[in-house]
Structure formats: C-alpha cells, structure tokens
C-alpha cells in the first residue's frame, strides 16, 4: 500500500447502534485486533452466510483505516448454492479481499457427494478434511470463525480462543481457563487456535446488526418463489442440474427462504413470506423452532457437533 | 410447550399461541450472571428451568430434550432440565457439568447472559472463567446439606473477582418438605459468610429448580411463608457492575500504519473517557502528547468512553508499541517492578515460589517472578502464611518484574487491575490475578510477612544473585525483588 488513507469526517447517516449491539461490536473488534497482533499467520474462515458477513464487516471495522491484515478462506464443497458463489466473488472484488478457495482434491477425484456417500461421510471429507488440508497448507496458526455459542449445546461450552492440537482436535474436557477479556494466545509450533469473535452474539443480534449496519447478504435469506421438494421433513431446493427428484416426489414452487446457508442438499428451507430485513426479524422474534433445525448435519444425534469438532470441524 | 411430531418447515407454529416478540435488551447491555455452588446442588437444572419458563427453549430443542431425558434424574416425570446446559458427551454420561455453558435469554424487561459453572472442585478453573465477567452470582445450596466448602470457595472467588451482588438460592426445598426454619438457618449462615467477604447485597430465595418454584413462577402454593421475589424478578432488577473509577486508560493492541502519514494506536478504552485535545502520557516511556483524532470506521468521533474499541491519533510522533498504555496525564496508574496481588490457582501444578511465569494484562505480556505469601483457609476464613499455591487455592503473592509493569488496583479498575499467569513450560493459563497495589521496597532488606525477608537489589543483579549459593541456601527464607528505581 502506498497512498495515505483519506480520513474524512462523515456521519453514519444512520442512528447510532444501541448499547447492546455496540458492546458486542466492541468485543468482537477487540478480539480481531488481539489475534492479529499475537499470531503470525491468521486466516478468516468465510462461509458466505449471515454470520460470515457480519464477521467480515467487523474485521473491516477493526483494522480501518488499514486493510484486513490476513486472507479469507472459503472451503468450497462444490455443493454450495450458485447465488452464494456469485455473492462471494462480488464481495471479494468490491472489498478488495485476499480470498483463497479450497476444495478437497481427493473428494473431487472420488466424486464424493451427499447423495451417494451420505451426509456424515460427505461432511467429513468435503468439510472437515478439506478444512484441515487448507489450514495445514497455509501454515495458519489461528483461524477466525463466525460460530456463536447460542447455536448449539457444545458450542455454548467453547472458549473465544479455542485451542487445537497439531491434528486440529478440540479437547472439550481440557479447555484453558479464559478470564476477563485477557486471552492466552501462546501455542507451540503446529498447534493452533480457532478464534470466535461472535461467541456472545445471538441469532437475533446478528439480524439486528445486519439491519443497523446495512450489511449485504445473499438473497436466499429473503423469501422468494423458488422450486423445491419435501424430503425427510426438509424442504430441499431444486438448485441445479445435479438435483434429481426421488420417485414419488413432486417439485413444488412456493415462497421459501433460508435461515442458515450451507450445502444445498443438506440445508433445509422454510416456508416464509418475509422478503426483507424487517420482516425476517419480526418472524424470527416469534420463532418457535431453533436455527439449526433445518440443518441435516446437526440433526443426526445429540452431540454430533461436538464429535465433529473433536475431529477438527470448525 | 409441545414437541412437534414432524420437523417444522416454517419458523412459526401458528397453531400454538406464539410468545410475544422479545424486544428486551435493546436499550441496555445484558445482565451477566453465573450460577455456582457445590456439585449436584442443581445449578444446571435451575438455568434449564429458567430457560424453559422464559420460553427460550424452542420446539426442536424441547423434542431433543425429551428424547435425551432418561428418566433417571427425577421421578416426577419432568424432563432432565440440566441437559439443556450440559452439552458435552462426557457431561451427559456422568450427569455433571465439566465446563461453563453460556446461554442467552430475555424476558420482557431485560436480556441476560448466564454462565452455568461446574460445581465439582476439579473444575474450579471453569467456574473462575465464568465468574470473571459476571455482574451477579446466584449461589446454590442444597436445602438438605447447607453450606459446604465448595460453597465457600465459590462465594470467595466470586467476591474476589468483584461480584458485589449475591442471590442465595436454597434449592431442592421440595425434598425438605418446604422446611421454613431450615431455610432461614441457611440464609443466616450465608449472609454471615457474604459479610466476611465484603458483600452485603444478598437476597435469599427458597426454590425448587426442578419443579420451577420461585424461579419464574411463584412458589406461593407450597411456600406460603415466603413473601419475597422470584429469582427472575431479582435478576430483572439487579444492577450491572459499576464502572471504573480511574482516568483514561488504553492498552495498545496494534499500531496501525496503513500508509505514509497515518499512525493510529488501536485498542479498547479500559477506563475513563477521551476526546480530541486531551493530554495523555504513554507508559512506560513517560512521553506526553495530545489526542488529535479518534478514528472509527463510521466517523471521526468527538469522544470515546470505557468499552469503546477505537483508533487514537496523537498530535506528535511518539514511539509506541503493542503493550504500551496511553493514559490520562493527570490520573496515572501505578508503575513499578514490585506489586502484590490476589491469585486463584487454576493449574494441577502448584504456583511455586520464585518460578518465572508470563503475565498477561490487557495487551501487555511480560516476565514475572511469583512468590506466594498467603493462602486462604476456606474453613476458618483466615489467611495463613504459604509458600506455594496448590490447585484451586486462593492466595496472595508478590509479583516481581524485570521491566516496569503498569497496573491499577483491581478494586478501582477491573480491566487494568486483572491479569493471568501463563506457565512458560506448558503455555497453560495457571492463575487469575487481581492487583492489590504496588509494593514499597525502599530499603534493600525489608522484613515482610511472617518469616521471610525481602532482598531488594538492582534489576541487572537479580539473575546473578538468584544463581548464587547464598540465595540457594536461603531459598525458603528470602524473597528477591528488583529495585523499582532502577
Ligand atoms: N427434587 C429436586 N431435585 C433437584 C432439584 N434441582 C436439581 N435436582 C436434581 O439434582 C441433580 C443434580 O442437578 P444438576 O442441575 O445437574 O446439578 P449441578 O449443580 O448443575 O451439578 P454440577 O454442575 O455437576 O455441579 C439432578 O438429578 C436434578 O434432577 C430440585 O429443586 N428438587
Ligand atoms: Mg451443572
């Protein structure tokens, strides 16, 4: 970088953040700066969803007026919604981000798919193993993630600096104490840390922050008329040419949207008419089911997330 | 709440009466509290019940709960509410809590962050983790057992960490036949304990966590003799931790130099406030400057207050690095190489006298020699002389630094008065510490504590003296400290 940044006094043009969101923002910025200063090779996991979008926004804030001092990593399973990939590439260009995309070459060669190999094995190879490969290749000693403690019972137990062994394992029985906002970033070569600036955010906080900060999102979060089938109690979007209806299934068209985004064969949509932020928040505030309800990978059994994390999943 | 038989594919189940939207938390920071107390006293059950009765448990989670409840935990046919918190496999297998769970919920009046901490003495480190950031502590006691050593330990740690509001929940009152005199005795005992810890804001409530009596719903039916508030009413009314009484403090996390001509110091304000034009001093160098700008992503700010993550631009070029402190010119923290502090020992390896640790406070990490001086006897409540601090001990220690350290007393500022100790051999966090103050060691040889003698000498001679035969022979009798005027 050569030219000096121009600092111009300008208002937000928006009302100031309420104290609750402001406190969450401050905490996240503090964590970003601490990690960036203490570790040699940070990377930020970017999954294109709403949490990642908030995480990215906070990273830009934390290092302003400088650039984000680390690359972003997207683990591409090749089964993401096309709209996600478009959005990712547009954002990377618009914000001038250093974005690395990694797909597990073994999985690609063996043509591992959620339909042919089952969601557990597919997730293991295309997500967990792929992530380990990318982190090892980049020699990253810390990776930021957008996980929140309110998502799931084992996440609720995780530290903000979550220590990982050289083979990326999490040992939930032996976490380091984490007192006040003083973080212990000391590790040996090969060990690493997953850092979670959004730990204390809830789903509603995320949406209210997106609204307050006008953060762009993948349009799939808003209701529109889309084609889908009902399979195993899940609304599966008929996303691309690889989608095949099973015998007896009929492709329907109706207003649906997503509460979380991932791989389309594993991410269930919800019927909804909420086509803008305000409507999404209103709907969320009276929701009677949790966020991860639509995710095939979390439904397998209680404790499945913990198991994956022990194996190196984010 | 009923569990749906088929997975819902819309967010709202319109057949049920949907709860009203929660707008709580919009106007203020959430209240942070912990549950603590001895093993099996019902902490997780209480929080589970609190989540259940405030409708924070969604239908799919309720379905998972009834699926996972084995019926072994109670014979009332109620779900095992602790499973809403005990999310680790090992916890579910053993029926205990191992690590803190953080949960978020709100009522119409307020938003809350609760940390459910483990009661088992082996996991005291995790209780301390939860306590360090809490505004209030709910201490649970089994109505049949009364106060236990672990109750005292948790109450003490909570008080040391600056929690000034206690709620005593006398739990499992259903198992005593709602015994009123028994409840009053425990409440009296606890109030006495709290007073010795300097906490006089104590509210006692008889509860049955399992049956949900006096948690969110009233327990009048079974305890007509109790006139006071329910737990949730107390929580809604509680106050947050007071602010700091020091001047401006900013521990520099990063120096931002995105291009020629811009140099900003990034960090979180950890005391007081700041505005352009204010005079500051950089520590430890002592160089003075004035604030030129407060930069944030959104705008150039005209002021920043405690808690704000900012970038500070000064009016002149100054040599500032990560770990330095920028502070108010007229209200400085204490600097020196000798301090005393309270410690909570969190590692299976004891805190050993004369051992060198890493100390991290704010963004500053430096070498320190730790010499334990006292340990709290939890039975008698008295401080006894000590030379080591074993796992879970609460003690006092002298801290001696090679280079100047910068602190406020924890009492006046919890950000700049707190630190952790890291064992350089294992990289583990082995203690949490709270600064009491700077130690005066003006003459070379000052008697201190019970038997020990402090030898104070110039910092550059410390290593040589430590290695000497004299120091080795008298290791148990002397305390070595650096001359702070060096
Ligand atoms: N009868 C009755 N049983 C209770 C009550 N509260 C909790 N229990 C039972 O006490 C046992 C222990 O409850 P937990 O909530 O796991 O205790 P805890 O304090 O969280 O335990 P640790 O976290 O391991 O220290 C369970 O079997 C509960 O069902 C109560 O009010 N009445
Ligand atoms: Mg428990």
Distance B207 CA to ligand 1 centre (A): 12
Among A78-82, A289-293, B181-185, the least confident range: A289-293
Tell me the per-residue pLDDT of A147-184, one tens digit each, with 9 for 90 and over.
999 998 889 999 999 999 998 899 988 899 999 999 99
Percent of residues, chain B, with pLDDT higher than 90: 68
Read off the pTM: 0.88
Tell me A11's DSSP state.
-
Higher pLDDT, A59 or B243: A59
Higher pLDDT, B64 or A60: A60
Dihedral (CA of A314, B30, A288, B117) sign: positive
Tell me the per-residue pLDDT of B285-294, one tens digit each, with 9 for 90 and over.
999 999 999 9
**What does the mean pLDDT of chain A come to?**
89
State yes or no: pLDDT of A304 exceeds 90.
no
CATH class of B31-237: alpha beta
Question: Does ligand 1 have an atom closer than 6 angstroms to the CB of B43?
Answer: yes
pLDDT at site B15: 38
pLDDT band, very low/low/confident/very high, at B9 (cuts 50, 70, 90)? low
A200–B contact, CB cutoff 8 A: yes
pLDDT at site B1: 36
- Per CB-CB distance under 8 Å, the chain A contacts of B257 are 66
Contact B351, B388 (CB under 8 A): yes
Nearest CA to ligand 1 atom 12: B40
Q: Which of A1, A180, A235, A307 to mutate to test the interface with B (most CBs of B within 10 A)?
A: A180
Interface contact A62-B87, CB threshold 8 A: no
State yes or no: pLDDT of A137 exceeds 60.
yes
Instruction: Tell me the domain boundaries of chain B.
Output: 31-237, 249-328, 334-448, 458-482
pLDDT at site A9: 37
State yes or no: pLDDT of B2 exceeds 60.
no
pLDDT band, very low/low/confident/very high, at B448 (cuts 50, 70, 90)? very low
- Per CB-CB distance under 8 Å, the chain A contacts of B16 are 288
Q: Provide the β-strand partners of residue B114.
A: B33, B103
Task: Say yes or no: domain B334-448 is CATH 3.40.640.10.
Answer: no
Higher pLDDT, B481 or A185: A185
pLDDT at site A63: 97
Task: Say yes or no: domain A19-214+305-310 is CATH 1.20.120.350.
Answer: no
Q: Which long-range contacts (CB under 8 A, 24 or more apart) does B450-457 make?
A: B450/B385, B451/B385, B451/B477, B452/B373, B452/B477, B452/B478, B452/B479, B453/B477, B453/B478, B453/B479, B454/B398, B454/B478, B454/B479, B454/B480, B454/B481, B455/B479, B455/B480, B455/B481, B456/B338, B456/B481, B456/B482, B456/B483, B457/B482, B457/B483
A4–B contact, CB cutoff 8 A: yes
State yes or no: pLDDT of B418 exceeds 70.
yes
Instruction: Tell me the domain boundaries of chain A.
Output: 19-214+305-310, 219-299
pLDDT at site B296: 85
pLDDT at site B27: 53
- Per CB-CB distance under 8 Å, the chain A contacts of B27 are 18-20
Residues 225 through 264 of chain A touching chain B, CB cutoff 8 Å: 230, 233-235, 259
pLDDT at site B19: 38
State yes or no: pLDDT of A261 exceeds 70.
yes
CATH class of B249-328: mainly beta
Interface contact A26-B308, CB threshold 8 A: yes
Contact A234, A294 (CB under 8 A): yes
pLDDT band, very low/low/confident/very high, at A295 (cuts 50, 70, 90)? low
State yes or no: pLDDT of B444 exceeds 90.
no
Tell me the per-residue pLDDT of A62-116, one tens digit each, with 9 for 90 and over.
999 999 999 999 999 999 999 999 999 999 999 999 999 999 999 999 999 988 9
Tell me A125's DSSP state.
I
Tell me the per-residue pLDDT of B338-384, one tens digit each, with 9 for 90 and over.
999 999 999 999 999 999 999 999 999 999 999 999 999 988 889 99
Interface contact A272-B11, CB threshold 8 A: yes
State yes or no: pLDDT of A312 exceeds 80.
no
Q: Do domains B31-237 and B334-448 have the same CATH topology?
A: no
Distance B91 CA to ligand 2 centre (A): 9
State yes or no: pLDDT of A287 exceeds 90.
no
């Amino acid at each position: 970088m050569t030219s000096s940044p121009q600092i111009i006094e300008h208002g937000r043009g928006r009302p100031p953040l309420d104290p609750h969101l402001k406190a969450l923002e401050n905490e996240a910025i503090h964590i970003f700066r601490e990690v960036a200063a203490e570790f040699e090779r940070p990377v930020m996991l970017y999954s294109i969803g709403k949490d990642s979008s908030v995480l990215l926004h906070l990273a830009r804030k934390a290092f302003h007026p400088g650039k984000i001092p680390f690359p972003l990593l997207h683990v591409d399973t090749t089964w993401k919604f096309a709209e996600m990939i478009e959005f990712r590439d547009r954002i990377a260009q618009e914000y001038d981000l250093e974005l690395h995309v990694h797909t597990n070459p073994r999985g690609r060669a063996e043509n591992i798919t959620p339909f042919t190999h089952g969601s557990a094995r597919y997730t293991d190879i295309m997500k967990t193993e792929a992530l380990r490969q990318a982190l090892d290749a980049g020699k990253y000693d810390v990776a930021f993630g957008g996980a929140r403690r309110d998502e799931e019972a084992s996440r609720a137990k995780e530290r903000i600096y979550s220590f990982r062994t050289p083979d990326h394992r999490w040992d939930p029985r032996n976490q380091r104490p984490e007192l006040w906002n003083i973080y212990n970033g000391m590790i040996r070569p090969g060990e690493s840390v997953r850092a979670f600036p959004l730990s204390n955010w809830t789903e509603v906080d995320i949406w209210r922050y997106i609204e307050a900060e006008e953060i762009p999102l993948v349009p799939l979060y808003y209701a529109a008329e889309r084609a889908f089938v009902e399979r195993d109690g899940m609304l599966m979007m008929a996303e691309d040419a690889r989608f095949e209806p099973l015998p007896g299934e009929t492709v329907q068209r109706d207003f649906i949207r997503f509460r979380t985004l991932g791989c389309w064969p594993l991410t269930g949509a919800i019927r909804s008419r909420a086509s803008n932020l305000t409507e999404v928040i209103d709907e969320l505030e009276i929701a009677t089911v949790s966020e991860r309800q639509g995710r095939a990978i979390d439904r397998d059994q209680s404790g499945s997330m913990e198991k994956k994390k022990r194996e190196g999943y984010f | 709440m009923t569990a749906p038989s088929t997975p819902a594919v819309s967010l709202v189940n319109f057949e049920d009466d949907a709860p009203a939207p929660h707008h709580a938390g919009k106007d203020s920071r959430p209240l942070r509290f912990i549950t603590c107390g001895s093993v099996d006293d019902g902490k997780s059950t209480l929080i589970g019940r609190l989540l259940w009765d405030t409708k924070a448990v969604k239908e799919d989670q309720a379905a998972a709960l009834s699926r996972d409840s084995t019926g072994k935990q109670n014979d009332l046919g109620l779900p095992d509410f602790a499973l809403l918190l005990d999310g680790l496999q090992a916890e579910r297998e053993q029926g205990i809590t191992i690590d803190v769970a953080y949960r978020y919920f709100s009522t119409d009046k307020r938003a809350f962050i609760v940390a459910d901490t483990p009661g088992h003495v082996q996991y005291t480190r995790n209780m301390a983790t939860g306590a360090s950031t809490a505004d209030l502590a709910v201490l649970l006691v089994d109505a049949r057992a009364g106060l236990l050593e672990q109750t005292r330990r948790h109450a003490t740690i909570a008080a040391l960490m600056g929690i000034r509001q206690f709620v005593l929940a006398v739990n499992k009152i259903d198992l005593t036949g709602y015994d009123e005199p028994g409840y009053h005795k425990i409440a009296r005992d606890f109030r006495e304990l709290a007073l010795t810890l300097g906490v006089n804001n104590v509210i006692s409530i008889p509860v049955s966590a399992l049956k949900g009596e006096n948690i969110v719903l009233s327990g009048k039916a079974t305890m007509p003799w109790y006139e006071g508030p329910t737990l949730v009413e107390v929580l809604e009314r509680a106050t947050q931790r007071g602010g700091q009484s020091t001047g401006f403090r900013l521990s520099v996390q990063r120096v931002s130099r995105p291009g020629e001509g811009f140099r900003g110091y990034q960090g979180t304000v950890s005391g007081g406030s700041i505005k352009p034009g204010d005079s500051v001093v950089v520590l430890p160098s002592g160089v003075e400057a004035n604030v030129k700008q407060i930069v944030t992503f959104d705008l150039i700010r005209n002021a920043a207050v405690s808690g704000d993550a900012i970038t500070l631009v000064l009016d002149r070029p100054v040599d500032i690095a990560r770990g330095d402190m920028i502070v108010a010119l007229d209200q400085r923290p204490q600097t020196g190489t000798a301090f005393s502090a309270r410690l909570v020992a969190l590692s299976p390896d004891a805190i050993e006298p004369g051992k060198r640790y890493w100390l991290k406070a704010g963004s500053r990490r430096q070498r320190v020699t730790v010499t334990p001086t006292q340990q709290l006897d939890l039975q008698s409540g008295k401080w006894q002389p000590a030379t080591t601090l074993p796992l879970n001990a609460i003690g006092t220690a002298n801290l001696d630094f090679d280079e100047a350290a910068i602190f406020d007393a924890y009492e006046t500022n919890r950000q700049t008065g707190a630190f952790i100790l890291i064992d350089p051999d294992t990289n583990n966090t082995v203690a949490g510490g709270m600064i009491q103050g700077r130690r005066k060691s003006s003459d070379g040889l000052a008697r201190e504590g019970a038997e020990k003698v402090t030898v104070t000498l110039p910092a550059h001679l410390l290593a040589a003296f430590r290695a000497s035969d004299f120091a080795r022979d008298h290791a148990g009798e002397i305390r070595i400290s650096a001359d702070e005027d060096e």
